[in-house]
Structure 1
Amino acid sequence: MSLAIGVLGLGAWGHTLAGLFERQGHRVRSWSRRSGGDPVAVIQGSDLVLVALALDGVKQLAPELGPRWDQQVPLVSCSKGLDPECQRTASQMWNVANPELRLLVLSGPNLASELAQGCPAASVLASQDQPLVEQLQRQLSSDQLRLYGSDDPLGVELAGALKNVMAIAGGICDGLQLGANAKASLLCRGMAEMSLVIQQLGGDQASLYGLAGLGDLLATANSPLSRNYRFGLALAGGQTAPEALMGVGATVEGYKTAQAVAGMGQRHGWALPICQQVVALAEGRCSPKEAVHALMQRSLRGEQG
């Protein structure tokens, strides 16, 4: 069945999703700040709207569009991140703007350029409305993109946000040429930090070990196609955060997510040493070697600690 799909945001991810669903035979209309026009016109008349805005864009647009959203039109949030000021994910921002929205989250190991080239991938579609998830699984899955369902939108969304922090750490590790042993250890301990945050914020830790967590981490912590990974490489090479962001030339959501999570950890007493060192390095409070030294000199403890 062909759907009328609206896409808000035409960065790399939004543009890729629009093209993917158009090739499936769906009728796609899109909006971006750069192209102009009225986003409400895209929502009206759509069977489904995917929002692929950067988190800053969601923060600005949700209060404006949320109250005007047609309650019958599901919103699929494709944005990844955690805002350091309001400490909310994208779907939480939409929910604050309109608690009656039919919200879903889409997340997974989906490097936009690979999908744009026709490479196959899988992703997770998460919502507490399971009949809607199953309906959209059938309508949106294809030979190129296989969709799995989940009833844990918060856990899926947090996993997708937090893995960007660890992708930055992976880039730093590779930039310093610390080797495979160190990187495996780093990402494993990074998973422990992600699990802690997901649990504390009310998500299901099981989502961490699915496509949105471990799956996405394997892709983004190892690929130069990942903006967060390239940002980490640049920091390891001695660039400042503004220089690294300019070199990447696109939004690096993991940077602000790291700030948000490190702040939460400090306030609540959570042990998040990798997040904290990523922030310290990005803010120029330590060198790459000092960040590694700080992690290696932490007090000894059991693996589950």
Structure 2
Amino acid sequence: MSGGETDGPVAILGAGAWGTALACVARRAGREARLWGRDPEVVEAIAAGRGNPAYLPDIALPDGIAATADMAEALDGAGVVLIVCPAQAMREVTGRLIPHLPANAPVALCAKGVERDSLKLMTEVAAERLPGAPLAVLSGPTFAAEVARGLPTAVTVASEDAAAAEAVRDALGDDAFRPYLSDDPIGVEVAGAAKNVIAIACGVAWGLGLGENARAALLTRGLAEITRLAVALGGKPETMMGLAGLGDLSLTCNSRTSRNTSFGYALGEGEAADAVLEGRRTVTEGYWSAQAVVGLAERAGLEDLPITRAVDAVLAGRITTGEALHDLLARPFRAETTDDAP
């Protein structure tokens, strides 16, 4: 089955910050936008024209976004479907989608993560649940609040089905929201999941007061780790230098607006992970993905991902942030560009 361009409504499954921002994008691109959400209060607020105060406070949404708690209603006649749920909910949401998915509608996966139990990427989970559906991945350097406000943003839409990627691009693209196409969904997915783990490390360094140099070093060496993992899993190295790789990593690691960086910052300041997470309404994907990314690396035969492993060890309570820093700094000196460099 191949996805092609269609003028039907854009169905967005997930009414959090990112899902609501993508509904704004679809409306500004001139498409009908139907937003499905679980929380009745959020759905009611959007439907009543009061915006989404729970996830995007003080941001006015474009007129005409339809919001519903009925998935069948959101998907009725949809030309393009965007799944914008947390990564660990992808299996459940795609399962609910099965009886309502319009034939041939491209499905764009907008979650960044790895399923913890199975170590599957989001496209693998969706392919199991929606066999034959044309799948794409939407990723890149995006803060939802900026996208919702209509500020300039560029993203990657990746798919092995060119027509599906083009349909997603045509449904969302305009002067402010610029989708670039890729045929490397694996590379895009690995970059999106692994960068959240590196962002936690950068946040820890920030919280510990280690300075800008340390954060730049972690970002750069983190990109090397992500690239090695992506290539080992079948991704393309050039993808890592694009919007979904370096672009997303640099945005995430250099701003405390990022949920993952701010989470790491709190850890660096001495807060407990559970306490930080309990105080948040939104999902910190890097917390859930760290263990899975390490598992993916081990399955691919990659043993030397020191930053990623350090974050996983800290989150699992095996070492402290101080001990993780000591271990990283005590590593032997290596050449920067050899295949086995950390």
TM-score computed with the length of structure 1 as normaliser: 0.94
How far did residue 286 of structure 1 move?
Answer: 1.9
Whole-Å separation in 2 of the counterparts to 1:246 and 1:230: 14
Whole-Å separation in 2 of the counterparts to 1:184 and 1:10: 34
> Is 1:18 equivalent to 2:23 in the alignment?
yes
How far did residue 68 of structure 1 move?
Answer: 5.1
1:273 pairs with one of 279, 302, 306: 306
Amino acid at match of 2:231: Q
1:94 is matched with 126
| Matches for 1:290-301 after TM superposition, within 5 Å | 290-301=323-334
How far did residue 3 of structure 1 move?
Answer: 4.0
How far did residue 223 of structure 1 move?
Answer: 1.1
Question: Conserved in 2, the CA contact under 8 Å of 1:240 and 1:282?
Answer: no
Whole-Å separation in 2 of the counterparts to 1:37 and 1:118: 26
1:194 pairs with one of 219, 226, 230: 226
- SS for the counterpart of 2:279 is helix
1:249 is matched with 281
Q: Which moved more, 1:156-165 or 1:245-254?
A: 245-254
Question: Conserved in 1, the CA contact under 8 Å of 2:28 and 2:174?
Answer: no
Q: Deviations over 1:85-107 (max 9, x none)?
A: 11112221110112201101100
Question: Conserved in 2, the CA contact under 8 Å of 1:105 and 1:157?
Answer: yes
1:171 is matched with 203
1:59 pairs with one of 77, 81, 91: 91
Aligned residues: 305
How far did residue 38 of structure 1 move?
Answer: 3.0
Amino acid at match of 1:252: T
Whole-Å separation in 2 of the counterparts to 1:59 and 1:134: 25
> Is 1:240 equivalent to 2:272 in the alignment?
yes
How far did residue 266 of structure 1 move?
Answer: 4.4
- SS for the counterpart of 2:283 is coil
Q: Which moved more, 1:104-113 or 1:59-68?
A: 59-68
> Is 1:33 equivalent to 2:38 in the alignment?
yes
Q: Which moved more, 1:263-272 or 1:17-26?
A: 263-272
Amino acid at match of 2:323: E
How far did residue 247 of structure 1 move?
Answer: 3.5
Question: Conserved in 2, the CA contact under 8 Å of 1:2 and 1:27?
Answer: no
1:115–1:296 distance in 2 versus 1, CA, 3 Å: same
Amino acid at match of 2:307: I
> Is 1:283 equivalent to 2:288 in the alignment?
no
Identity %: 40
Whole-Å separation in 1 of the counterparts to 2:297 and 2:137: 25
TM-score computed with the length of structure 2 as normaliser: 0.84
Whole-Å separation in 2 of the counterparts to 1:85 and 1:284: 19
2:146 is matched with 114
Mark the runs of 5 or more structure 2 residues left unpaired by the alignment. 1-5, 41-67
Q: Which moved more, 1:290-299 or 1:260-269?
A: 260-269
1:137–1:20 distance in 2 versus 1, CA, 3 Å: closer
Question: Conserved in 2, the CA contact under 8 Å of 1:113 and 1:225?
Answer: no
2:45 is matched with none
Amino acid at match of 1:10: A
Whole-Å separation in 1 of the counterparts to 2:81 and 2:266: 35
Q: Deviations over 1:226-256 (max 9, x none)?
A: 1001110011011111112123431011112
How far did residue 2 of structure 1 move?
Answer: 5.4
How far did residue 163 of structure 1 move?
Answer: 0.9
How far did residue 19 of structure 1 move?
Answer: 1.7
